[in-house]
């Protein structure tokens, strides 16, 4: 009896010690964060950076699905505006069949693009018309050429951009629609703040200065379905398209998840009923 009491006392003391250690770590950590925040000088980037706006997306939620028309409009914006500087190196031409284009359309589009090739006679590097199996080519032959054409700011590949940024779909849309003049409040509070000579103010970008000039202007593309090509509309469409390039299996994954959850729930109920049936005849032993 005394041995059992000793074990319980030791367990209680260990539990108390563990709780005290956790509380101590929490208190000291919170104090460090508060002290760091107080000591850290305020900056324009900290004060005026904005989180992305929230937009409604057809692919949001557990029952979300792609809006194929929107994906095609977004592809049009990418092809006619963004592809001048940005690549899609993880997307092949034949992937476009997944957003509603047929085989002949994909072949025609691929053939309209020049991709890197090799001269069969000399072995020298050359270009050739694309095939459906080819990936979207980069607009620049290499990083040096990309930097030289863009004031030393190499345009990022957009294949995975919505997964590479937090809240990617909303971030891309907010960024594309967020260009503006430097606010008067910022100039008043931080008179020394200045953009680089090639920078453009955008509060949704981390350092407020974006090397890319505003890429979209109203009517920059003509939509085949007659949708008004406003800046916000194009920004949302190309964001949806880039969400698809980053995770083309997004909707299929959601559709697969529900049957799996239902099966697991059914299996759990079945296992519980089986357990009740198997052990129903066994009476629990009385203690003592």
Q: Are residues 39 and 58 in the same domain?
A: no
> 221 with 236, same domain?
yes
- Shortest CA distance to 238 belongs to which of 100, 89, 73? 73
**Radius of gyration in angstroms for the set of CA atoms belonging to the chain, rounded to a whole number:** 29
The upper half-sphere exposure of residue 248, i.e. CA atoms within 13 Å in the direction of its Cβ, equals 11
Number of folded domains in the chain? 2
One domain, residues 166 and 194: yes
**Mind listing the pLDDT tens digit for each residue in 131-143?**
999 999 999 989 9
Structure token pair of residue 190 = 């931080």
Residue 67 lies in a domain: yes
| Average pLDDT score over residue span 12-41 | 75
The answer to whether position 4 is within a domain reads: no
Domain that residue 33 falls in:
14-43
Q: What is the four-CA torsion angle of 171, 175, 178, 183, rounded to 10 degrees?
A: 90
221 in a domain, yes or no? Answer: yes
Q: Does residue 282 lie within any of the structural domains? A: no
184 exposure class (CB count in 10 Å sphere: 0-12, 13-18, 19+): exposed
Q: Confidence class of residue 35 from pLDDT cuts 50, 70 and 90?
A: low
On whether 1 is known to bind a ligand per the annotation, the reply is: no
Q: Considering Cα of 69, then 71, then 77, then 83, what sign does the dihedral take? A: negative
Q: What is the DSSP string of 78-119?
A: HHHTGGGT---TT-BGGGGGGGT--HHHHHHHHHTSEEEEE-
Same domain, 159 and 39: no
pLDDT for residue 56 is more than 60: yes
200 is in an annotated binding site: no
Q: Is 82 known as a binding-site position?
A: yes
Residue at 229 is within a domain: yes
pLDDT at 282: 74
Nearest 5°: CA angle at 264, between 262 and 269? 95
109/94 Cα distance (integer angstroms): 10
Question: Cα separation of 167 and 184, whole Å?
Answer: 28
- 234 a known binding residue? no
So what's the pLDDT on residue 199? 92
Confidence (pTM): 0.80
Q: Check whether residue 19 and residue 77 sit in a common domain.
A: no
Calculate what percentage of the chain has a pLDDT beyond 70. 93
pLDDT above 80: residue 117: yes
Grade residue 226 by pLDDT with cuts at 50, 70 and 90.
Answer: very high
- Residue 206 belongs to some domain of the structure: yes
| Residue 209: strand pairing partners | 201
In DSSP terms, 31 is beta-bridged to: none
Do 31 and 143 sit in the same domain of this protein?
no
Asked if residue 105 has pLDDT above 80, the reply is yes
**Residue 130: which of 154, 150, 113, 153 has the closest Cα?**
113
State pLDDT tens for residues 155-171.
999 999 999 999 999 99
Same domain, 63 and 35: no
State which H helix or E strand residue 208 sits in: none
pLDDT, residue 13, reads 81
Q: Are residues 164 and 37 in the same domain?
A: no
User: pLDDT value at position 287?
Assistant: 64
Say which CATH number the domain at 236 has: 1.10.760.10
Q: What is the per-residue pLDDT across 257-281, written as a single tens digit (0 to 9) for each?
A: 888 889 999 999 999 998 888 877 7
pLDDT of residue 62: 86
23 and 72 belong to one structural domain:
no
Half-sphere exposure of 277 (CA within 13 A, CB side): 6
Instruction: Pick the range with the lowest mean pLDDT from 32-36, 56-60, 129-133.
Output: 32-36
**Alpha helices for 134-249 (secondary structure H):** 143-149, 161-164, 168-177, 184-189, 231-246
- Residue 171 falls inside a structural domain: yes
On whether residue 285 sits in a domain, the answer given is no
Q: Is 248 helix (H, G, I), strand (E, B) or coil?
A: coil
User: What is the model's pLDDT at position 275?
Assistant: 85
């Amino acid at each position: 009896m005394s041995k059992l009491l000793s074990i319980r006392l030791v367990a209680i003391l260990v539990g108390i010690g563990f709780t005290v250690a956790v509380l101590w770590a929490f208190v000291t950590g919170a104090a460090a964060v508060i002290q760091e925040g107080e000591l850290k000088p305020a900056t324009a980037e900290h004060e005026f950076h904005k989180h992305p706006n929230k937009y409604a997306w057809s692919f949001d939620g557990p029952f979300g699905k792609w809006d194929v028309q929107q994906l095609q409009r977004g592809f049009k914006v990418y092809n006619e505006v963004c592809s001048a500087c940005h690549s899609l190196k993880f997307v092949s031409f034949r992937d476009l069949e997944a957003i509603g284009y047929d085989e002949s359309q994909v072949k025609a589009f691929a053939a309209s693009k020049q991709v890197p090739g090799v001269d069969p006679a000399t072995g020298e590097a050359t270009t050739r018309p694309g095939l459906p199996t080819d990936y979207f080519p980069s607009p620049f032959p290499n990083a040096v050429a990309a930097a030289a054409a863009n004031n030393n700011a190499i345009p990022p590949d957009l294949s995975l951009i919505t997964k590479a940024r937090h809240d990617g779909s909303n971030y891309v849309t907010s960024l594309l629609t967020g260009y503006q003049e430097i606010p008067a409040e910022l100039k008043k509070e931080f008179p020394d703040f200045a953009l680089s000579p090639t920078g453009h103010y955008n509060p949704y970008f981390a350092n407020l200065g974006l090397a890319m000039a505003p890429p979209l202007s109203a009517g920059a593309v003509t939509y085949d379905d007659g949708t008004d090509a406003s800046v916000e509309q194009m920004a949302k469409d190309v964001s949806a398209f880039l969400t698809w390039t980053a995770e083309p299996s997004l909707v299929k994954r959601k559709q697969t998840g529900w049957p799996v959850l239902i099966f697991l729930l059914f299996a759990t109920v079945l296992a519980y009923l089986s357990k009740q049936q198997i052990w129903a005849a066994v009476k629990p032993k009385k203690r003592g």
